[in-house]
Structure 1
């Protein structure tokens, strides 16, 4: 090859590299805009803060290349329509709770929390290092979506009741707002569970549309004022690790450059864990306030016969659901196996430590 031809090749290669670099720079400068719909109303404490933190993290980590706008329930008018809106591509991301979709897709409820199930650290272990994330994407993948942990409240309280529960007889005909598998358990015991959007909870309890309301715990309950109209505050059994979710339209996710996919998943994971820490903090602070300012609140635990009946109903319902669907059975078995291992450690670590303090 002559020096002249060699120089032509080098010049051509340099031109190609220059064009590729310019193209890459243009791609790196491109701004990707995503829309997020959340089940919560505007400025909802903790839950709504989580989406804002996630969007801010994504913006910062991407150097402004990934912009996420948030529409709250007051704007899209469909707090329980987030699943369908993300599936249809009307929104790119949703922030809600997986068990809200059990009427559409029963297997979704396992990815929020389960009665008598794992604690938050145990469940995070299952999601991130066990089979949880893979199983969740198997369920949501059939609908063109991905789902990721979206923030944990920790152990939730059993609810605010206008009348004391002293026996199984008191449960019969009880109208209670409670979603998920726990609602099915209450129904087995003779109660009448309903699901009500967060923004309508206080009004429903005040007008006696329901006799009891289960929401979250001190982290959020004090702001809604349930203690003013329902003095009995029952401890939890039904949601030991209530994990919210970020649903993402799969086609939209796959159109993002690889680095922005990583940035988005990292922002979601960070915001989710931060919500768990914030929820724990707020519950501690708010419970201290509630004890001092509202001494008439009566903290109760459900009677042993009621808890026993709930456990029996839970076992029967799980068995019934597993018999209908192989994937349901796999999810249940995965959760049970992981919890058995994790709980053995919890028992000789956290539980043993707390027990030692009471001796």
Structure 2
């Protein structure tokens, strides 16, 4: 079987073919600013069909409409403008105006944000998204972490729970003992504690590594992401380990550009961004249903780890990975009380989980 390859694609949002105006903000009086058109470039490592990419495309169309065509956004998917691991820096230094990024790429730059990767904290993307939105608005140290990188966060785009795709089936953690599993962030530490051998490779290397037997399985992706990349062709046995969300993604804009935008454009973009999470969740459910179809059509299987076994694993692991995160925060020189920030985060999660309705996709698919 040939290795799947993704080709960078540049896609224009609706009506973005108009090339008037210039990229970036600027001075000038109010009359000049009211006529200025901002043609902005957004860098993303995602394929254009991913749920986040589709939802962000709808967001861009809404931004253009809300600003009466004064803000137009051009998308560069699949690292067509910047590599995924350089997008934060690339937006901060102006190589791109906006970027879709994942916190797991930047443990040193975003130590507080990397709390999103602690396993067993939550399985609700909507609760996590609202929690981070609250922290960004209310916690000065957290907001400063982003401003230090030269960016302003427009959208919190949480990902669904971690999914595992395996070449050979497994029923429990004992079956996974010794298997080489691609893993990222703090999930890798939890996987190692459970007896797996975590392997650090990029998402672009996973398909061929599974195909050639370099790894026995992969994680660090939600159900829809794994099927978007056709991993069911080479690893058709999917598993929900009940470890919860594994990372956080977001759309950011260059801070200097944001500060230079007229106030009415800032307000319009912020208002549209406030509604992103609802659009994303609606899109996500559609993609997860399609992912289930893909897996079942490929003859794949789904295993949900026994809840009692998952709870025991969490009890053995949570304090260990929390301590690793706290050490990273303390060594970063951020000057933040890590324990206090952890409590604020968990409290925000608890508040928003009370109103959350998301059901993990693999669990929905398993009963079809």
Task: Select 2:38's aligned residue among 24, 32, 38.
Answer: 32
SS class of match (2:68): coil
- Determine whether 1:97 maps to 2:113: no
- Are residues 104 and 27 of structure 1, via their aligned partners in 2, closer, same or farther at CA, if it must alter by over 3 Å? closer
Partner of 1:308: 312
| TM-score, length-scaled by structure 2 | 0.75
Task: Select 1:203's aligned residue among 200, 205, 208.
Answer: 208
Q: CA deviation at 1:185?
A: 1.8
Structure 2 distance, partners of 1:115, 1:86, is 29
5+ unaligned residues in a row in structure 2: which ranges? 1-27, 331-335, 360-368
- Are residues 255 and 305 of structure 1, via their aligned partners in 2, closer, same or farther at CA, if it must alter by over 3 Å? same
Give runs of aligned pairs for residues 1-359 of structure 1, distance below 5 A.
24-41=30-47, 43-110=48-115, 112-118=116-122, 119-128=124-133, 130-135=134-139, 136-154=142-160, 156-165=161-170, 170-214=175-219, 216-240=221-245, 243-288=248-293, 290-291=295-296, 293-301=297-305, 304-305=308-309, 308-322=312-326, 325=330, 326-343=336-353, 345=354
The structure richer in helix per residue is 1
Structure 1 distance, partners of 2:54, 2:200, is 23
Output one character per residue of 1:245-304: Cα deviation in whole Å (capped at 9) or x when no partner. 01222111101111111222233333343122211122134425643x244424242685
Structure 2 distance, partners of 1:205, 1:289, is 18
Q: CA deviation at 1:212?
A: 0.9
CA contact (8 A) 1:219 1:280 kept: no
Asked which structure has the greater CA Rg, the reply is: 1
Structure 2 distance, partners of 1:350, 1:100, is 26
| TM-score, length-scaled by structure 1 | 0.77
Structure 1 distance, partners of 2:215, 2:136, is 34
CA contact (8 A) 1:100 1:179 kept: no
Structure 1 distance, partners of 2:308, 2:34, is 61
Structure 1 distance, partners of 2:91, 2:174, is 42
Structure 1 distance, partners of 2:285, 2:293, is 13
CA contact (8 A) 2:152 2:255 kept: yes
Structure 1 distance, partners of 2:214, 2:258, is 41
Aligned pairs, number: 325
